[in-house]
Amino acid sequence: MTHITDHKTIHLIGIGGCSMNGLAQILRDRGYAVQGSDANVSPFTQRLQQLGVPVTIGHSADNLGAADLVIYSAAIKPTNVERVAAKERGIPELERSVALGQLTEGYKDVIGIAGCHGKTTITSMLAYICESGKPDATVHIGGFVDILHGGVRIGAHDMFITEACEYVESFLTLRPTVALINNIDDDHLDYYKDIDHITDAFRKFLALLPQGGMFIGCADDPRVRRLLVEHRGAHISYGMANADYTPGNIVYDAAGCPAFDLLYEGRSLGRISLCVPGEHNIINAIAAAAVALYAGTPFPAIAEALHAFENTRRRFEFFGERSGIKYYHDYAHHPAEINATLSAAARVPHGKLWCVFQCNSYTRAKTLFCKNVTCFAPADEVLVPDIYPGRETDDGSVHARDMVAGINAGGTKAVYLPTFEEIRAYLDANAEPGDLVVTLGSGDVYKQTQKLL
């Protein structure tokens, strides 16, 4: 089987991807000659070029150069011209998650942050904690973190902290010594058959833990709680209540940002004050603190880092203000994430709370957003453009109008407006100074939000 350690010059196709750019930087730090290509310029490709990593925009067989190994992301199809050229030249290939799994074999401790929601934020919080110097871990994140100027922190070679993504069971390539599971939900139903199939994938992930490994799980989630009961090895629980780590004396400031005492078995370890809003970030912060405490980080360093933490890009990110109306964007694309984000937004002072939701999957639209949809309840009105195709093609079986009907049936007013130009015109006619607009989705809605400004 192809293994990274047998090669010296690595070409990454899709090097500007959330995970791929971090992988490129880690490989470079480990002594490999790294190069890559991507279809578009992005903050990730710009960061790589600043670091001296050769990046070509556009795909061509000539881009392979002297590469003796190709790594490609899941978005890169076998018909890609560079993959075709690699096959013709006999250059071995590795899919991104397999390469990441092989890379983790070189670390003494591997901490995998898993869950259908929150893993990017938790991993980013741990990167902030690592900036304090203990643990001095390498951290791999599926998002852009401003303090890191990208999605990776290069640290010592004995500890690796990474997001462990459940999509197509890619996290099963990892070899974790610590596994954190934040939640298990009915997402990625274009791959998984049902929620039991998803839960079994997380069960397999836990089974990767070695003798003496640690499982850290959120007891608030019923499926994670079941895994905590099943698990025969060492485990730590966290949650809002009935867990090892819980919050106490919670208060929110005027911007909806919480402060709380971190309790371990009911005893206060100290106070944590966050500069990011919402109850879901209390859970994220406790998760990060539980991992850091297990790794030996002093509590004062944890509290200081969590207070300094700013949201990863596309996580309740402030995009701007126009005509007295503030615009935020969040990557939320699953009902649980949407409700958490809008609940946090509702704590921010505002007049009317508008939501613009772009669904990026026909499968997700059909399975999650067409019947009695209640997750938008914190918003006053939801504006729904056409579905963004993402990885799928439109077979005509679902339309954005079906989602609007489902949201209205769930009790929240929703309106179908096909384009963002029409959404802007609608907001111009109906929104007022002091209102708040939150755009949601994992497609190109973050780019389209600029049209609203």
Residue by residue, pLDDT tens for the chain (453 residues) are 789 888 999 999 999 887 898 899 989 988 999 999 998 898 889 889 988 999 999 999 999 999 999 999 877 889 999 999 999 999 999 998 899 889 888 789 999 999 988 898 999 999 999 987 678 999 998 777 777 777 889 888 799 999 998 877 888 989 999 999 999 987 666 666 788 898 999 999 999 999 999 999 999 999 999 999 999 999 999 999 999 999 999 998 877 789 999 999 999 999 999 988 888 899 999 999 999 999 999 999 999 999 998 766 667 787 888 888 889 888 777 788 888 889 878 888 888 999 999 888 888 888 887 788 898 999 999 999 988 877 667 777 889 899 899 999 988 999 999 988 999 999 999 999 999 999 988 778 877 888 888
Per the CB < 8 A criterion, the answer to whether 336 and 185 are in contact is yes
Taking the C-alpha atoms of residue 370 and residue 409, their distance in angstroms, rounded to an integer, is 9
Taking the C-alpha atoms of residue 127 and residue 121, their distance in angstroms, rounded to an integer, is 10
CATH class of the domain comprising 107-308: alpha beta
**Is the whole model's pTM more than 0.85, yes or no?**
no
Taking the C-alpha atoms of residue 153 and residue 140, their distance in angstroms, rounded to an integer, is 7
Per the CB < 8 A criterion, the answer to whether 61 and 84 are in contact is yes
What's the pLDDT score for residue 65? 93
Taking the C-alpha atoms of residue 246 and residue 240, their distance in angstroms, rounded to an integer, is 5
Side-chain-facing half-sphere of 303: CA atoms under 13 Å: 14
Name the residue ranges covered by the structural domains of the chain. 4-96, 107-308, 317-452
Question: What DSSP assignment string belongs to 189-215?
Answer: TTT-SSHHHHHHHHHHHHHT--TT-EE
| Number of other CB atoms surrounding residue 84 within 10 Å | 12
What's the pLDDT score for residue 42? 85
What's the pLDDT score for residue 443? 76
What's the pLDDT score for residue 391? 67
Per the CB < 8 A criterion, the answer to whether 318 and 256 are in contact is no
Residue 385, C-beta contacts closer than 8 angstroms, at least 6 positions apart: 356, 358, 400, 417, 418, 419, 420, 422, 423, 448
What's the pLDDT score for residue 430? 94
Peptide bond preceding 43: is omega within 30 degrees of 0, i.e. cis?
no
Per the CB < 8 A criterion, the answer to whether 228 and 237 are in contact is yes
Phi, psi of 32 (to 5 degrees): -85, 150
Token duo for residue 205: 């992930």
Taking the C-alpha atoms of residue 330 and residue 328, their distance in angstroms, rounded to an integer, is 7
By CB atoms closer than 10 A (0-12, 13-18, 19+), residue 133 is: exposed
Say how far residue 64 (Cα) sits from the centre of its chain. Answer: 30
CATH superfamily of 317-452: Mur ligase, C-terminal domain (3.90.190.20)
Which strand ranges, in their side-by-side order, compose the sheet holding 436-440? 317-322, 325-330, 436-440, 353-357, 381-384, 413-416
What's the pLDDT score for residue 191? 64
Radius of gyration of the chain (CA): 22
- For the domain covering 4-96, report its CATH number: 3.40.50.720
What's the pLDDT score for residue 264? 97
